[in-house]
Structure formats: structure tokens, C-alpha cells
Amino acid sequence: MAEAGSRVVIADRQSWVLKEADAMVGSLGSEPAGYVCNPSDQGSVEALVEEVWDTCKRIDVLVNVFRTPQGKPLTQTGEADYQGVMDRNFKPVYLFCRFIGVKMLSQGGGKIINISNNMAERGLAESSVYCASQGAILQLSRALALEWGRNNIRVNVIGTGWSSTEEIEPEEAQKELLVRYIPLRRKGHPRDIGPLLVYLASDSCDYTTGQPIYVDGGLMAHP
């Protein structure tokens, strides 16, 4: 997004993440702006949105990336486990869409891209609550696409598969059994979704809304 000319604002729980992200954004020519925020707390999110609005005067694009995996049989999943997964994965998406949605409605439009996982539509044993959290993101996005379509707000989802930020040679990567299940025989990398993210945020994508687009190496093609 910074390479494409956007002014990028980043929010995260951890200040060290913001420091690294600000450095990367700054190296690409964008004015860095990082905010520490608890994305699961309504007051924290609302305060952040108001501060960014006061500073930037517009919020044209919202990208939500909240994903903490959880693997546990449902019979061993307590209420605290359930609430923790939903608070980390779904609630932040709901809160940011809600408060930034108000700003986009007032300015006459915007683009929302929610990053999810192909578990939004595929099941995975011993990950039922995690799958439910991803499905909730997808369904929220579809519903908001209908709710805000006439207000020039487009809402779409990028669904990812197994991914890694590590740089691994193809021959070495394919030694992992999991990688052999992926049709393209490698895990995804953040750079695989970058061009799609820019497209979905651009004026070239004004007729696409409510859609999940999977960048998962072909996993969704499996039965």
C-alpha cells in the first residue's frame, strides 16, 4: 500500500511491531504512523479511529488482519477458550468495521478488505472455534457489502492458506508433509497478497463487493 502511494496508518497491540512496520513504511516513502491499540476493546478502537480521523481527515481504506490459531477438540474447549479466540480474531474486525464504517459513510465511500483464512469455508478437525471465527469474518463482510453497497463502500475478503514469512528454497520446503498437500507446493508469503490488496483498494475495483478471494496455492480446489 505504501509503494502504491497510500498514507499508511498501522495499529497493533505491541509497540515493537509498530516500530518495525513504521521503519518499513518509511523506507517506501510514506509518512509512518503507528498507534498502540487494544483491538478487542471498544473504547480503545473508537479513540484510535477518532485520532486518525482528526489527523488525516479521511479514511479511504481499512485492512483488517487479526488471526490467532487455536487447535483443540470441541469437547475440551471451554468458554474462556471460545471467548479468547473470538475476541482475538472476530471482535476486532467487527469493531474497526463499525467505527471506520461510520466515517466512510460520512465521507461518501471507502474500501474495506478483511483478511481471513480458507477455514472460513473449509472445516478442520480440532479447530472448530477457530473455523467459526473465520466464517464470522466472511459473513460479516458479505452482510456489510449489502448494507453499505449503495453508500459506495466496497467490502471484500482475502482468504489465505498456510503461510510463512520465511524464505525457504522450494526443494527444502517440499520436504514438509504439509507443503506436499498444497497444489503449488509451497506456503504462501505476504508478498503473494500485496498486489491483490492494492487492487481491491483501488478505483479499478469498484464493481466487486461481498467476495472472498482466495490466495492459498490452490487449497480451495481440493475436495
Catalytic residues, which ones?
A: 130
Q: How far apart are CA 89 and CA 133, in angstroms?
A: 6
Residues 6+ apart with CB under 8 A from 55: 33
Residue written as grid cell 479521511:
58
**Alpha-helical regions (H) of the chain:** 15-27, 42-56, 79-89, 91-107, 128-148, 170-173, 177-181, 190-201
Q: How far apart are CA 103 and CA 100, in angstroms?
A: 5
